[in-house]
């Protein structure tokens, strides 16, 4: 009689436990800037070019997971207080930039990077564009720099990634006033961004995307505040580029006239390899298309070096010239030209 020994089938491996985790990080933007135009007057009455060493931003990040499906982020924003008229004027102060909970829906909806967020969080448009631009440490994109949008806001949102790497959608309801202000009214902003990748398997054209954004908000009932953007973006190992257009509509009070604004920005970042990159950017902003031909024109040109990555650490230096003119503004404004050496560290 023969006996045959068989091995019992092994049970499938257990899923990873829902072990909480916490990570601490920081981001620093610092620079040395010389303002060539306009000149300032020192205490002896001499016309001089202002210059200063500055820490423009310092972020402290606390991120983590409570379980496999629940994550959180807490980010403080340290910046210099200016124009307050208080004893803190000129001091560095701290405020909340992000504070949100995130419910991951990847398993439920079978889609990577799909989630719901609640709290103070990145708004849909600027965080998307900045991930491609990557030079926020030089200065904000025109929508934020010229006062049309804020980078973060309090609200609830959902992000969904389309199947097949064809794009994504990010939509939500927000206070509409930005993370630095309390909501002064009963109005809420509905913001939606959609991005389509026409050729997800197109080789060199994989990085091409067509993007749209709409922000429907109001200062008060029947006092509209609208923003609409259309942009084409491109990402490649040798170049990142974008052309971004915006239309704005503002009625600060119900008795005020509608103000129609328009703007566009085009930038290209050639990558020479070994960490060297260029930056060329042109902005054109018309605050009121129905009034005089007031146009704000901004040109930025620079060269950057990104140090080799060490794990999650990213470090970069950028030397640039930032030139802005103000055509037909009332009252008239002088041209501005700044030379700066910027540094960025994040981990």
For the chain, 347 residues long, give each residue's pLDDT as a single digit of tens.
343 333 344 444 444 557 899 999 999 999 999 999 999 999 999 999 999 999 999 999 999 999 999 999 999 998 887 765 666 677 888 889 999 999 999 999 989 999 999 999 999 999 999 999 999 999 999 999 999 999 999 999 999 999 999 999 999 999 999 998 888 889 999 999 999 999 999 888 999 999 999 999 999 999 999 999 999 999 999 999 999 999 999 999 999 999 999 999 999 999 999 999 999 999 999 999 987 689 999 999 999 999 998 788 999 999 999 999 999 888 899 999 999 999 999 99
User: Whole-angstrom Cα distance, residue 166 to residue 10?
Assistant: 39
Asked whether 26 and 61 are in contact (CB, 8 A), the reply is: yes
Asked whether 329 and 312 are in contact (CB, 8 A), the reply is: no
Query: Would you report the helix, strand and coil content of the chain in percent, each value rounded to 5?
Result: 5, 60, 35
Asked whether 268 and 277 are in contact (CB, 8 A), the reply is: no
**Predicted model pTM:** 0.89
CA of 211: how far to CAs of 166, 170, 208, 216, in Å? 12, 11, 10, 17
Protein fold of 21-83+96-346: Porin (2.40.160)
């Amino acid at each position: 009689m023969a006996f045959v020994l068989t091995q019992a089938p092994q049970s499938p491996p257990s899923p990873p436990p829902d072990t909480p985790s916490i990570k601490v990080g920081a981001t620093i933007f610092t620079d040395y800037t010389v303002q060539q135009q306009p000149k300032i007057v020192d205490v002896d009455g001499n016309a001089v070019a202002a210059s200063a060493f500055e820490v423009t931003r310092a972020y402290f990040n606390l991120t983590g997971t409570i379980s496999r499906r629940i994550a959180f982020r807490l980010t403080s924003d340290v910046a210099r207080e200016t124009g307050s008229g208080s004893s803190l004027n000129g001091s560095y102060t701290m405020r909340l930039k992000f504070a949100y909970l995130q419910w991951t829906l990847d398993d439920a909806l079978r889609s990577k990077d799909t989630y719901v967020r609640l709290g103070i969080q990145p708004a849909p448009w600027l965080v998307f564009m900045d991930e491609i631009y990557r030079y926020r440490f030089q200065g904000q994109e025109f929508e934020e720099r010229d006062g049309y949008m804020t980078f973060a806001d309090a609200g609830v949102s959902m992000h969904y990634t389309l199947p097949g790497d064809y794009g994504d959608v990010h939509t939500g309801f927000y206070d509409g006033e930005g993370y630095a202000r309390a909501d002064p009214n009963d109005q809420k902003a509905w913001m939606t961004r959609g991005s389509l990748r026409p050729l997800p398997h197109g080789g060199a054209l994989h990085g091409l995307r067509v993007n749209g954004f709409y922000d429907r908000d109001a200062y008060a009932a029947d006092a509209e505040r609208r923003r609409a953007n259309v942009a084409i973006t491109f990402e490649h190992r040798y170049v990142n580029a974008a052309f971004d257009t915006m239309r704005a509509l503002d009625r600060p009070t119900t008795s005020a006239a509608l103000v129609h604004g328009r703007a566009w920005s085009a930038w290209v970042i050639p990558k020479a390899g070994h960490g060297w990159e260029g930056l060329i950017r042109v902005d054109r902003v018309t605050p009121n298309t129905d009034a005089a031909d007031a146009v704000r024109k901004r040109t930025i040109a620079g060269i950057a070096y990104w140090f080799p990555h060490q794990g999650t650490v990213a470090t970069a230096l950028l030397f640039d010239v930032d030139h802005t003119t103000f055509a037909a503004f009332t009252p008239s404004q002088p041209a501005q030209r700044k030379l700066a050496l910027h540094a960025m560290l994040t981990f």
